[in-house]
Structure 1
Amino acid sequence: MDDTTYTKGLYTATIGVRPVDDGQFQGVVSLARDDGEGTDSTLYEVGASSENEGEALEEARALAHRILGEIEL
């Protein structure tokens, strides 16, 4: 599966899913800031786990939109 990315100004959020205990999945968002001198990256995790990868990916997508929506340029 290709990475899904969302961009706002200098910020790029890349969403993904990782397996956790008991066959559950957790959505993750990697937020990178590229200021031309290097790229800083922060990993955010969805607070709850999901029963399947699709649900976890949707949760990650929602988290990415919330994070980017709070950034002021």
Structure 2
Amino acid sequence: MDDVTYTKGIYTATATARPLDGGQFQGVVSLDRDDPDDPENMVYEVETTSASEQEALDEAKALAHRILGEIEL
């Protein structure tokens, strides 16, 4: 499944789903700050697991929206 990318100012959030043991999936968001003087990369994990890759990706997309919504430029 393809990753989904969102951008706000110098921040880029990439939402993805990763497989876990037992056939479960977890949503993950990678947040990158594109600042040549002070780059930053943070990884956020959705707290719950999902039975399907699509559900995990949907949870990751929601998390990415929340993270970017909290950023003040």
Deviations 1:34-67 (A, max 9, x none): 1133632111000000000000000000000000
Counterpart in the other structure of 1:43: 43
Q: Any gaps of 5 or more consecutive residues in structure 1? A: none
Cα distance in 2 for residues equivalent to 1:3 and 1:21: 20
Aligned residues: 73
Runs of 4+ in structure 1 deviating by more than 4 angstroms, as ranges, are none
Q: How does 1:53-68 map to 2 (within 5 A)?
A: 53-68=53-68
Match of residue 16 from structure 2? 16
SS of alignment partner, residue 16 of structure 2? strand
TM-score for the superposition, normalised by structure 2 = 0.92
| Post-superposition CA distance 1:6-37 (Å, at most 9, x none) | 00011000011111121100000000001133
What stretches of structure 2 of length at least 5 have no aligned partner?
none
Q: Secondary structure at the match of 1:62?
A: helix
CA RMSD of aligned residues (A): 1.2
| Residue identity opposite 1:41 in structure 2 | N
* TM-score w.r.t. length of structure 1: 0.92
